[in-house]
Amino acid sequence: MVYYIPLWLQAIKSKSAVQSGIDTIPMVLSLVVGAIGAGQIVGRMAYHTSFAMASSVIMPIGAGLISTFDLNTGSGKWIGYQILFGLGMGMGMQQGTMAAQTVLHRKDIRRAYHFASSASSLVEPSLCPSGKMRFIQKFTTGLTTLVHDLDVGEVVNTGATEIAKIVPEKDLHEVLVAYNDALRQVFVVGVVMACLPVIGAFSLEWRSVQGRQGPTEKGSNNDSKIDTTVSEQEKA
């Protein structure tokens, strides 16, 4: 989403590269507000599960609305949809970490962090190339179907801001329709990815972040007995 929304703004709304970046500020700001706001409220309420659930619902809704972009989408919609998506993403950014700190035993927290970091480093680099391949495939198919007298390879390899300069006026609308349809296919992939966290979010335990770490009280009692025994031995 973060990569392809500026491309949509450049190609469909004729924004410059700089302006398209500026126009994604609503998403970035709402992400920051969501992350900070959720962190502050969790610190007061001591429960993070509700924000994980809310994030897993709001983020897919925002992503789904973004996937409806077309040539006539107004600024009110594309700004509002970005805000909704960014807010949902921000609300859930820290909840996985909070869940690990709250539910897992202290010795397992580091392993959970390493696992999450490894999964992120493996998945994220594969998403952009996959999205690009999907975009090129759909854009090429759309151009072949809608426009018959253009060099498809040249148009596909042209930057988003240059399309209007190389495509004749009579074919520009069809090319933009094909470009928009291709981007929407990429956005759909984003919708699917945004829906995946709902599985984990609604499986979280309702545990206070201010409570004892670890899965059971039994383990805590055993630890207390061990500590007491060690203290008595040291005194002896």
Reduce the DSSP state of residue 215 to 3 states and report it.
coil
Whole-number pLDDT of residue 229:
42
Q: Select from 2.30.110.10, 2.60.120.10, 1.20.1250.20, 3.90.1310.10 the CATH code of 4-205.
A: 1.20.1250.20
Give 8-16 contacts, CB < 8 A, sequence gap 24+: 8/69, 8/180, 8/183, 9/78, 10/159, 10/160, 10/161, 11/160, 11/161, 11/163, 11/176, 11/179, 11/180, 11/183, 12/69, 12/71, 12/73, 12/176, 12/179, 12/180, 14/164, 15/161, 16/161
Whole-number pLDDT of residue 225:
43
DSSP for 55-98?
A: HHHHHHHHHHHHTT--TT--HHHHHHHHHHHHHHHHHHTTHHHH
Q: What tens-digit pLDDT sequence spans the chain (236 residues)?
A: 888 999 999 999 999 999 999 999 999 999 999 999 988 888 888 788 888 899 999 999 999 999 999 999 999 999 999 999 999 999 988 787 777 777 777 777 777 777 777 766 777 667 777 788 889 999 999 988 888 778 888 888 888 888 888 888 888 999 999 999 999 999 998 999 899 888 888 887 787 777 655 554 444 444 444 344 434 444 44
Domain ranges of the chain: 4-205
Do residues 66 and 82 touch, judged by C-beta distance below 8 A?
Answer: yes
Whole-number pLDDT of residue 138:
92
